[in-house]
Amino acid sequence: MKLLFLLYIPSLFLLAGCDIASGEASDDYINVLYQEDRVPNEMIEEHIQFSAYKALDETSLIEYWKHFELEGAIPEIDFDTSAVVILGTFEPSTCPHYIEGFEQKDSNHTVAFQLMPYDNCSFDSNPMSFVLEMDRDVVERMNWVEFDREIVEVRRT
C-alpha cells in the first residue's frame, strides 16, 4: 500500500505539467464562441482563401462582426483578460474544420491553429467564419496566423 502511495505522488507532478513547476498561469485557452457559413465579400471577389482579424476591444469586435456580416448576437467578452480572433476560410462540405487548439511560434508572434485531421474530402469550397475567444496577451502579440497550411498577417484596426 505504501508503494502505491509513493508512486501516486510523483505521478501527480508528471501529469500536472509545466504550469505548476513554472508558477505561470496558463494562457493557452481557446473558446469557439460562434461559427457561421459566411465570409466577407472581398474574400470571394478577390479569391482570398483565408483571413484573420483580431479585436482587442468591443468597438473592433462590432466592426469585424459587420464586416463578416455575421447574423448571430455579438458575444459579451471581458476585454481586460480576453480578446477575439475572427477567422474567415473555406472548407470542403464533407470535411468541416474543427479547431482543437493552437500553438505559439516565432517568439509568440505566430499562432498556428490545430485542426482535427480528416481524409477523403470533396473538392468543393464552402465559406466558414470562426469567432474565437483567447487570452488577451496571446492575441496582442499575434501578428501572423497559420490555419490549414495557410499563413496570413492578422488584420487589426
Q: Mapped to the 3 state alphabet, what secondary structure does 125-137 carry? A: CEEEEEEEEEEHH
Confidence of residue 103 (pLDDT cuts 50, 70, 90): confident
C-alpha cell at 95: 470535411
- Residues in contact with 63: Cβ distance below 8 Å, sequence separation at least 6, in sequence order: 55, 157
Which among 41, 56, 31, 49 has a CA at the least distance from the CA of 131?
31
Q: Does the reported pTM lie above 0.85?
A: no
What pLDDT, on the 0 to 100 scale, is given for residue 95? 84
Q: Which of 46-55, 100-109, 121-130 is predicted with the least confidence, judged by mean pLDDT? A: 100-109
Q: How far apart are CA 52 and CA 31, in angstroms?
A: 16
H/E element, 30: strand 30-36
Task: Give the residue carrying C-alpha cell 509513493.
Answer: 6
CA–CA gap between residue 99 and residue 146 (Å, rounded): 12
Residue 133, pLDDT score: 96
Give every CB contact of residue 153 below 8 A, 6+ residues apart in sequence: 52, 143, 144
pLDDT for residue 27: 66
Distance CA 150, CA 13 (A): 37
More confident residue, 96 or 41: 41
- Per-residue b or e along 130-146, where b marks 16 or more CB atoms closer than 10 Å to that residue's CB: bbbbbbbebbeebeebb
Whether residue 26 contacts residue 47, with contact meaning beta carbons closer than 8 Å, is answered with: no
Please report which confidence band the pLDDT of residue 108 belongs to, taking 50, 70 and 90 as the band edges.
low
Grid cell digits, residue 63: 466592426
